[in-house]
Structure 1
Amino acid sequence: MKIQKLLPVLSLVSAINFAVDAAPVTPLTSPVTTFAMWPGAQYASNIPTVKQVLGYDLGERITNDDDMLRYFDALAKAAPDRIKIFNYGQSWEGRQLIYAVIGKPATIAHLDQYAAEMQALADPRKTSEKQAQALIDKLPSSVWLEHSVHGNEISSTDAAMMTAYHLLASQNDAVIDKIFANTLVFIDPLQNPDGRNRFVNYYYQTVGMVPSSDRLSVEHNEPWPQGRSNHYLFDMNRDWLAITQPETAGRMKAMLHYHPNIVIDLHEMEGDSSYFFVPAANPFNPHMSKAQIANNTLVGKNNAKYFDRFGFDYFTHEVFDAFYPGYGDSWPTFFGASAATYEVASARGDWFRTATGKTITFPQTVQKHFVASISTAEMAADNRKKLLTDFYQYQQHAIEAGKDDSKERTFIIPGVRDAAGSHKLANLMARHGVEVKQADKPFSACGKDYPAGAYFIDTAQPRGRFVKTTFTKQVDMDQDFLKEQERRRARKLNDEIYDVTAWSLPLMFNIDTDACGKTVDVASHQLTVDAPLVGKVTHADAKVAYLVPWGDMAAGRFLTAALQAGLTIKSADKAFVTGDNTHYPAGSLIVEVKANPDNVADLVSKIAHDTGAQVTGVDSSWVSEGPSFGSENTVTMTAPNVAIAWDEPVSSLSAGSARFVVEQEFHWPVTAIRSDKLASANLSHYQVLILPSGDYTAALGKNGAANLKAWVAQGGVLITLADATRFATQPDISLLDVKQELAYQAPKEGEDKAASEAEAKDDKDNQDNRVPGQLIKSKAELITSIENDKETPDNVAGVLANVEVDQEHWLTAGVNPQVVSMVTGHDIYTPIKLASGKNVAWFADEKHLLASGYLWQENLKQLAYKPFLIYQPTGKGMVIGYTEDPTSRAYLDGLNVMLMNTIFRAAAHATPLR
């Protein structure tokens, strides 16, 4: 069969003609005819269209990353005085990340000056109100448009191209003239090029002779892991808090350079919906200002004006709240922008048939995002002075709020217990644009003494509100909103909590911080962004050994670097004290001089410098307390081959974050193996296998479980995360001897157990499906009567919970007595019996369990003392189960030492034939 033109289908023309073996085929009519994106627009001929550059009309084909770059480059060459393109980084797969700036020539020619003046406006400590007013009188307002952070949300990138073209090519258009006179427009056309190319490639590999509008069709059902996420399978819209991905880091740095007044993140949602724009849903983050919320309402009203004109359906404030500060539409709020999400119903291809039978097309979705973008720019132009004034006042109010806080004026990070984690947390805040200072001398504050090198953050600064929302342990949701959620839950309705309810960075890092109601008065210097933590070796010419205290990620990365360098390393299962009375925690590393190459001193010094580890050389192996270097309680570390389950049925987010943490945080390679291969594969090459969250029942089943059991028995270490632990506990799988609990049902008041049993027997014996009559006297009794006897605990959106850690087990060597984990979902497990294994870490008691967030009281009570980390030896190996995912979003840094132990110390304790 010969097909003259297979792709793309021309969504902007009325018909498509095909020739198959020269035989005529009846033309297939497109769901839409040609239409103008902005009816009545007149465009200059010197600005190239998409078709002139790429060979197809806008909306006719889903544009990939390379073509998008080509088009923006062509625009920049055609109008260099009104548009400039900047590179802000590279994706993991090496794709260029850009943003465009569009404005009047006088501003484009002096963008550095514009940025400097916005930075001045952003700091009232340096810029007086009179100076600020002079800047406000002359500066343009600004809009930053973010597109396609989720790679399979396809319309926004093409809308970015249309927005840029319309701004540059429009003639005799009062709206565009007004925008150029008053506003700068920043366009980030593609935040996630790796994910987008994954989607586009798949779509055009699977689409048929004519694209299908059927949601069942192959092109509408992407295979794992889909195009939503980036190379490491991160949902980058949740990465604005931890900044783990290079795409996020580059974008945030650029935004902090310019401080745009309005930031819009353009998304897609399921195809049966319409279009969402602000105002957002409840709850709002309490550290947002009223002016920001009011400006979002102005944005929404202007959008509504245009959507009414174009006949576009839309909705507002019913979903997509403004509570969590780690989204692309919320993080900019905390430098003073008015930020928002736009969501369009997606065609996820050329066209899509909705549940009501309506067909939506790709060009239509592009048009809606484009119209909303122009509308937003117009709002910024109409409200130039207001936006700039509100921006300056936001900084003023943030500073004043910090000064007025008598309890949390200053946050202090002592940096004593976990130097590497403390440094990373302080550096993370600096990357967020927060002023972080490091003491040059010891000091006292609020009755406590701190060493030189401690970090402190004064909240009386422009980014003070961001510090408050990320360092305060509890950020409360609106009480009326919470009451409504409890009412809905009582009615068995889904709650309206959109995402996690807790995100305190010190808790997630498991870092000690103190709050002081006063300023810190000590000689200090401001922490430089990305300043490295430099390690050192004390007594570098040691005769016997080099010792590395275990318990932070500097020591962890020292271990992995030393193993890759071929050094022989031991690790103590218990704490010990050397002859000079120096105490070393359990897990501490021992690099013996005689057991290693002659250049061991040089290798140790280099590794310590690069990893930030603190190393001490000793000339004697004498130990006064604890295990000696040659004790059976001191194990030799191995360099394990680590595998991870990949592809269906694994959660792509869990797989991506787990692989990222091991590879990029631990600096250790991981081999990804497709899950179905694990059912029969010879795994003897691997010492450790990680099963990320997922339901492996179909992919592995009994045969797969048997294969894993045999591998574990021969010395393998199997690590299960979250839902994978649920799979491991199933009765016919029995990799872990624990059970998943149903929701606890308290005995009903006055319940007669014998009568209940008799009633149950009557029900069973009754053959006509009738039961004895009952009287229901109140609505409360009605609700009680319809309760299920067997159901899972209610789902938890996401809270931070305290976890107690067994301090006498080798698996938790160097881990603090208490850590914090994220808790999501509804899984609660019985403790493992001593005959089978050990509950190595468990959730705290009911009174102390909740560290931050909002947790249903029934879940709180039932979760107390239930296992978090389970150890079950099997033959020469072991199964280690996490009941929650310790790598979630790669922002639970406080669990990294525990996870390192479950990989490296567990592999050292397994006993395969060597």
Structure 2
Amino acid sequence: MKTSLCSLFVLFFLGGMMQAAFVSAAVSQSVQSPEAFLGYEKGERLTPHHRVMDYVTHVAENSDRVMAEPYGKTYGGRTLMLLYVSTPENLARLDEIRTNNLRRAGLLGGEATSLESKAIIWLSYNVHGNEISATEAALFTLYELATGDDTHLQNTVVIIDPLLNPDGRDRYVNWYHQTAGRQPDPYRTSREHIEPWPNARTNHYNIDLNRDWAWQTQIETRQRMAVYHQWMPHIHADFHEMGVDQPYYFAPAAEPFHVAITDWQREFQQTIGENHARHFDDDFRVYFTREIFDLFYPSYGDTYPTFNGAIGMTYEQAGNTQGGLSVITADGDTLTFARRILNQHVAGMSTVEVASMHYERVAEEFFRFFRDAAETPYAPHKTYVISGNNTPDKLQLLTSYLDAWGISYGHAPNTRSVRALDYQSLEERTISLNSQDLLISAHQPKSVLLNVLFEPRTTVVDSLTYDITAWAVPYAMGLEAFAIERRIDPAGPFSINHPVTDFSAMPEQPYAYLARWESKQDAFYLAQLLQHDIRVRFATQPFSMDGQRTWERGTLILTRRGNEQHGDRFDSVVRELADELGRELVAVNTGLVMSGRDFGSSGVPMVHAPRVALIGGPGANPNNFGEVWHFLDQELEYPHSVFEHTHLNRVNFSDFDVIILPQGGYLNQVSNQVKDDLRRWIRNGGRMITFGNAIRALDEGDQFQELRSMPEPTDEARTAQQLLRAEDRRRDAAASLITGSIYYLNLDNSHPLAFGYPEFYYSLKSGANAFEYLESGFNVGTLQAGAHRSGFQGYRVKDHIENSLIFGVQPYGRGNIVYLNDNPIFRGFWHNGALLFANAIFFVGQ
């Protein structure tokens, strides 16, 4: 009987296995390969976004190993999609796997179930639109995982984002298909290998999404990171392309590694690299490691996951904008699109394989990362205090970021004196805490990310870095902040004391309304008022109505006189917009002030709604152009016209009040007639806002700002440079560089360019150019001795940049030139400069 029952059980079990195998085989056979579904062979064509979405949807609908989840839309309206790939058993418990992962890391309350941890791998493709092999490889990796041996899926969950930047990719795909002929031309300077400005690397607004992981200024990033933080993967691989003459790059990364990176993260990068090398060696593929791509700046697709506990990696395939379908490289080889796709596919499958081989340790080390972070934070500062004296808008901005990052915070204990490092001076002093202050303890699971983003001085272990070397959040947001070397825990939840406007208590028709000028949100309010045709004045001197409250320079004054054409609608528009945007509004019944200038004074000028033009085109820095375009279009929602410099001969400049010039030497390419017209336009009252030295081509006889030359080296120094070993020359050149460092500027806040600021400003300087003070004009923001706060500064640069102009305004005829020699809206995350840029648009020259 026992034998019979046992036999029946075996027959039942085997029958079930056979049935499962049959179903699996049937499912696998119903999943088409990318070639069969798309109708062309690997590397024969470029796949546009909508066909990528068609294919991944097909796989998800026909494979029990794949689930598809749309997670958002791009600025261009294209779908963003994630694919979850694992065994059917794991997919059935997918949310349990996710929540267990967060709970075991201490990132979510509650107890994990007994289900064994799986290694969670996230593969990101095509964050740069013109690095096209990535998305194609994602399709082949998805197909193999969905239909091949599922051994490595038993203990893993693979999350695939096949296309992070659909707008950029489609821009490239459409251009290439319109440009290429019947057969690809491999000649590398033919037109199908020369992308037009601004190229397709970036998203719709020409913002580099691969530098936006931490700052989340773009809608694509915000939507992706919301899901990322719900999962917190253990391994993240970011698939890119580089120049056509390099082979393939994979981990381990190059130095410098940020000091926060753990021994385990270094070790497993090596393990992954060795696994890749084994597969690449099998087919004699050429590759390199430990060069160029470091792990320092925290807003990349490798570093941000790293500081969130993952093994974060960049993979780089030769190709990029010059790759096309085939291209002849410098060594005479023909690099095909098919080969590029295959290399990316091999690296992706190897990543899944090595994660599966070590899944238990991968998961345990991930959990240990967060336990260690909470128990023994690596950095000297254990507590960060953000003063309650900061404006509500700044505190709101900060807390929205902390929430997005998953960093815990609360309010400080009351009336407690402690020694703290002041970010402003970088000196220690005694401060008194109170319950209005926001306090962040480093004793929390997200301690590593917190310390990396808030460290007052970055520890630059190597001058040869790939990106900027300073980014501290208190400087980027212009916060009064302190760092403390002892642990202090929050005393309770933090809340912001937003000023509340009681509209019901206001007189029905006051003489005027007053609104503060302190933040980008205030500039947005002004932009909306102007678009509703509300006439707005602004204060050029502090004033007081009652001898108690002082209204600072820049205060918006909305008088009834001048807005009579709106009738009662004046009050409803002003109040409704203020309520919608959370602006404090104060009603007053007189234009007579106790101190300062009365509302009818010439010192309270009108803001004439500026007609704004933005110039771009070949030679203009596409990132800076994009930062300005995004600021105008998305952050201010203010009307503007965009022109390429090649069409300026068709523009009637008198139709505009403000022209904005992004960085670049593109005005050298315009005709002399256009240059004359632009100079005449400024002299007749136009306001030219120029980033860096973009206006130089218009200069006649050194009328504009003067670029300071680097001092000539002494004969002894020149000889020493000439005798340098070849391997030392790149490092020596870094002595003349500034690689994205933070400086304290002295600010003349009595000038309209600096309204709304204290007498100082933190500036991110991304180059060593220095400009002399204006002889006839206003030196509004200046860099003086002792200004350096954080980041790498070459020793030859220090004296060169001292006592130089950063922000200035030069009268030119009846118009003005606004010089922005540091970028006040750098990558959209330098929030401290947004109001200054708004001042340049709305206030200067009014």
State the secondary structure of the residue aligned to 1:524: coil
Instruction: Verify: 1:66 aligned to 2:50, yes or no.
Output: yes
> Does the alignment pair 1:807 with 2:749?
yes
- State the alpha-carbon separation in 1 of the partners of residues 714 and 293 from structure 2: 39
1:701 to partner: Cα distance: 5.1
How far did residue 808 of structure 1 move? 2.6
Q: 1:215 to 1:533 in 2, by over 3 A?
A: farther
CA deviation profile, 1:519-549 (whole Å, cap 9, x unmatched): 245332589xxxx978635753372221112
**CA–CA distance in structure 2, aligned partners of residues 368 and 714 of structure 1:** 59
Q: In terms of mean alpha carbon deviation, does 612-621 or 179-188 score higher?
A: 612-621
Q: Structure 1 CA distance, aligned partners of 2:537 and 2:433?
A: 33
Task: Confirm whether residue 82 of structure 1 aligns to residue 49 of structure 2.
Answer: no
Contact 1:725 1:882 in 2 (8 A): no
Partner of 2:834: 896
Code of the residue aligned with 2:784 in structure 1: it is: A
Matches for 1:492-571 after TM superposition, within 5 Å: 496-516=464-484, 517-525=486-494, 536=501, 540-541=506-507, 543-571=510-538
The aligned counterpart of 1:272 is 245
Equivalent in 272, 285, 288 of residue 315 of structure 1: 288
- Whether contact under 8 Å (2:735, 2:793) holds in the other structure is no
Q: Do the aligned residues in 1 keep the contact of 2:780 with 2:808 (CA within 8 Å)?
A: yes
Matched, 1:425 2:367: no
Identity of aligned residues (%): 28
- Measure, in 1, the Cα distance between the counterparts of 2:431 and 2:783: 30
Counterpart position of 1:57: 41
**Cα distance in structure 2, aligned partners of 1:501 and 1:188:** 29
Q: Which amino acid in the other structure matches residue 375 of structure 2?
A: E
| Partner of residue 758, structure 1 | none
Superposition deviation, residue 731 in structure 1? 4.5
Displacement of 1:364 in angstroms is: 0.5
Deviation at 1:184, TM superposition (A): 0.9
SS in 2 for 1:591: strand
Q: Which residue of 2 aligns with 1:33?
A: none
3-state secondary structure, aligned to 1:858: coil
CA distance, structure 2, for counterparts of residue 533 and residue 100 of structure 1: 41
Shift in Å, 1:309: 0.8
CA–CA distance in 1 between the matches of 2:211 and 2:176? 25
Partner Cα separation in structure 2 for residue 679 and residue 799 of structure 1: 39
User: In 1, distance between residues paired with 2:211 and 2:744?
Assistant: 23
Aligned positions of 1:768-807 closer than 5 A: 794-807=736-749
Answering whether residue 784 of structure 2 is matched by residue 844 of structure 1, we say yes
Letter in 2 for 1:546: Y
Q: Which residue of 2 aligns with 1:147?
A: 125
Partners of 1:884 and 1:807 in 2: CA distance:
17
State the alpha-carbon separation in 2 of the partners of residues 458 and 698 from structure 1: 52
Matched, 1:395 2:363: no
- How far the C-alpha of 1:686 sits from its partner, in A, is 0.9
Q: Which residue among 363, 375, 383 is the counterpart of 1:410?
A: 383
1:212 Cα deviation after fit: 0.6
Query: How far 1:450 moved relative to its partner?
Result: 5.5
Is the counterpart of residue 710 in structure 1 residue 680 in structure 2?
yes
SS at structure 2 position matched to 1:293? helix
| Alignment match of 1:286 (pick from 259, 273, 277) | 259
The match for 1:740 is 707
The aligned runs of 1:60-459 (5 Å cut-off) are: 60-79=44-63, 81-123=64-106, 138-170=116-148, 176-346=149-319, 348-402=323-377, 408-437=381-410, 444=416, 446=418, 448-449=431-432, 454-459=437-442
Give the match's secondary structure for 1:300: helix
Residue 351 of structure 1: how far off its partner (Å): 0.6
Could you tell me how far apart the structure 2 residues matched to 1:244 and 1:90 are?
15
Q: Measure the CA separation in 1 of the matches of 2:46 and 2:354.
A: 29
Partner Cα separation in structure 2 for residue 526 and residue 360 of structure 1: 58
Any idea what the Cα deviations from partners look like across 1:777-813, whole Å, max 9, x if unmatched? Answer: x9589679xx9xxx99933221112211113323322
Against the structure 1 CA distance between its residues 723 and 101, is the aligned structure 2 distance closer, same or farther, given a 3 Å change threshold?
A: farther
Higher deviation after alignment, 692-701 or 311-320: 692-701
- Measured at CA, do residues 648 and 813 of structure 1 come closer, stay the same or move farther in structure 2, by a change above 3 Å? same
Partner amino acid, structure 2, of 1:397? D
Task: Report Cα offsets for 1:292-348 as digits up to 9, x if no partner.
Answer: 111111111110110111211110001100011100111011221111000011162
Q: Take 2:457 and 2:648, find their aligned partners in 1: how far apart are those partners?
A: 42
Whole-Å separation in 2 of the counterparts to 1:262 and 1:716: 53
Q: Which moved more, 1:668-677 or 1:615-624?
A: 615-624
- Structure 2 distance, partners of 1:725, 1:469, is 37
Partner of 1:29: none
Q: CA deviation at 1:454?
A: 4.0
1-structure distance, mates of 2:628, 2:73: 22
1: CA distance, partners of 2:132 / 2:499:
43
Match of 2:610 in 1: 640
Give the TM-score taking structure 2 as reference length: 0.89
Q: Distance in 2 between matches of 1:324 and 1:341?
A: 13
The yes-or-no answer on 1:905 pairing with 2:843 is yes
Q: Does structure 1 retain, via aligned residues, the 8 Å contact 2:443–2:487?
A: no
1:617 aligns with 2:555: no
- Alignment match, 1:866: 804
Unmatched tracts of structure 1, length 5 or more: 1-40, 171-175, 483-495, 752-775, 910-914
1:873-892 correspondence runs (5 A): 873-892=811-830
> Alpha-carbon deviation of 1:677?
2.5
Query: 1:511 is matched by which residue type in structure 2?
Result: L
Whole-Å Cα distance in 2 between the matches of residues 420 and 184 of structure 1? 40
- Greater shift, 308-317 or 797-806, is seen at 797-806
Question: Match of 2:600?
Answer: 630
Question: One-letter code of the match for 2:74?
Answer: S
Q: Kindly indicate whether the alpha-carbon contact (under 8 Å) linking 1:537 and 1:616 is maintained by their aligned counterparts in 2.
A: no
CA drift at 1:669: 2.3
Aligned mates of 1:533, 1:727 — CA distance in 2: 47
**Partner of 1:585 in structure 2?**
552
Instruction: Specify the code of the residue in structure 1 equivalent to 2:398.
Output: L
CA 1:885–1:125: 2 relative to 1, 3 Å: closer
**Pair 1:47 & 2:31 matched:** yes
Distance in 2 of aligned mates of 1:88 and 1:861: 50
- Provide closer, same or farther for how the CA distance between residues 209 and 124 of structure 1 changes in structure 2, counting only shifts above 3 A: closer
> Displacement of 1:413 after TM fit?
2.1
2:586 is aligned with what amino acid? T
Q: Secondary structure at the match of 2:458?
A: coil
Instruction: Give the match's secondary structure for 1:536.
Output: coil
1:148 CA drift (Å): 0.2
Separation of aligned partners in 2, 1:722 and 1:374? 45
Q: Separation in 2 of the partners of 1:780 and 1:67?
A: 55
Q: Is the 8 A contact 1:800 1:851 kept in 2?
A: yes
Q: C-alpha displacement at 1:428, in angstroms?
A: 1.2
Deviates most, 542-551 or 879-888: 542-551
Pair 557,536 (structure 1): closer, same or farther in 2 beyond 3 Å? farther
Distance 1:301 1:521, change over 3 A: closer
Instruction: Give the whole-Å Cα distance in 2 for the aligned partners of 1:721 and 1:701.
Output: 21
For residues 674 and 187 of structure 1, what CA distance do their matches in structure 2 show? 38
CA distance in 2, matches of 1:568, 1:241: 39
Quick one: distance in 1 between partners of 2:829 and 2:192?
34
- 1:827 and 2:769 correspond: yes
Shift of the 521–793 alpha-carbon distance from structure 1 to 2, 3 Å rule, reads closer
**Aligned 8 A contact 1:182 1:381 in 2:** yes
Closer/same/farther in 2, CA of residues 84 and 44 from structure 1, 3 Å limit: closer
Amino acid at match of 1:588: T
